[in-house]
Amino acid sequence: MSIEVRNITHIYNKGLPQESVALKDVSFTVEDGEFLGIIGHTGSGKSTLLQHLDGLLKPDEGQILIGDVDITAPKVSLLAVRRQIGLVFQYPEYQLFDETVAADVAFGPRNLGLGQEEIDERVRESLSMVGLDYEKIKDKSPFDFSGGQKRRIAMAGVLAMRPRVLILDEPTAGLDPRAHRDVLNMIRAYHKSQADSIIILVSHNMNDIAEYADRVLVMDKGQVRMHGTPKEVFARSAELREIGLDIPDLADLAEKLLARGLHVPKDAFTIPEMAQAIAMQLRGGKTDPAAEGGEDA
């Protein structure tokens, strides 16, 4: 099931003095099994775009096809669309409402009309997927947890719907480094566990995008500026900086080393990879498998 976005335009407050064009002629496709990263400066239209993909906003122009269903058509069943697509909003912890953690996580599956047994099973599974102990927390109030834990509970609420397409809007904003890692690894684990599932991740962290995404979409003032593999996109560092973005730390390091005459690859996006390349250069071309953490050159 692929996603095809065709020339969508969205204008907020159309016809009013505060009218603003949030999306302008945006087109791209996402293939089956793809992990798409979306980057763009504040106000570039990322959140607006994501809401279109879930049918929460209607474009003023253009179409969106999920599989063969045009979700912008007038009489399409949005519940059927949302059965396939899970959207985790920015700061999802503020959407918790039920008395117990288990009941809150079950809200989505219940809306899908699943049976009680299936619901219980999914609640248990998705809570463990986000690293929480079902038995310990199921009867507690979701409001008695810390911000980071609440976020996990809220994410479990979306995962419990087992979406084929999982969309996340800055899921790591405001988390500590450990929780940040955990959330990203959890997303990756979900991606692997569901065959052919699509992940769309919005993030302001270039390192994460470089490490996790298969392809990257760059938004600028409501338009698509670039779309390609991390390697292709992050090679255009000057352009990215011009629109208020940046390149991953390792790409930055590679750029600086290259300028000093050390031949390291520009697209080594993990630390071990980069360390090995640097070590190889310093030793005059020999490989050293044990070279890890040698980031400071």
Partner 1 sequence: MIRDITLGQYYPGDSILHRLDPRIKILATLAYIILLFIVNEWIGFAACFVFLAVEVALSKVPLSYILRGLKVIFLVILFTFVLNLFMYDGEVLVRIWKLTITDQGLKRALFMAGRLILLIISSSILTFTTTPIQLTNGLERLMKPLSKIGVPSHEIAMMMSIALRFIPTLLDETDKIMKAQQARGADFESGNILHRAKQMIPILVPLFISAFRIAQDMALAMEARCYHGGQGRTSMTEMRFRRRDYITAVILLLFAAGIITLRVLI
Ligand X SMILES: Nc1ncnc2c1ncn2[C@@H]1O[C@H](COP(=O)(O)OP(=O)(O)OP(=O)(O)O)[C@@H](O)[C@H]1O
In the complex, which residues of this chain contact partner 1 (CB under 8 A)? 13, 15-17, 51, 54, 56, 78-79, 82-83, 85-87, 89, 92, 94-98, 107-108, 111-112, 143, 157-158, 161
**Cβ 118 to Mg ion, closest distance in Å?**
33
Does position 56 bind Mg ion by CB under 5 A?
no
DSSP 67: T
CA–CA distance, 187 with 166 (Å, rounded to integer): 9
Strand partners, 227: 217
Among 2, 9, 29, 47, binds Mg ion (CB under 5 A): 47
Of all residues in the shown chain, the one whose CB is closest to Mg ion is 47
Residues whose CB falls within 8 Å of the CB of residue 211, separated by 6 or more in sequence, listed in order: 248, 269, 270
**Phi/psi at 293 (nearest 5 deg)?**
75, 10
96 binds, among partner 1, ligand X, Mg ion, none (CB under 5 to 8 A by kind): partner 1
Nearer to ligand X, 45 or 92 (CB): 45
The two three-digit tokens of residue 71, written as one number? 């979700």
Binding site for ligand X (CB under 6 A): 12-13, 20, 22, 40, 42-48
User: Could you tell me if 277 and 268 are in contact, meaning their C-beta atoms sit under 8 angstroms apart?
Assistant: yes
Strand partners of residue 8: 26
Give whichever of 47 and 281 is closer to Mg ion, judged by the CB atom: 47
Using rule CB under 5 A, residue 204 touches Mg ion: no
Q: Could you say which of Mg ion, ligand X, partner 1, none residue 42 binds, taking C-beta under 5 to 8 angstroms by partner kind?
A: ligand X
Phi, psi of 84 (to 5 degrees): -95, -25
* Chain residues in the site for Mg ion (CB under 5 A): 47
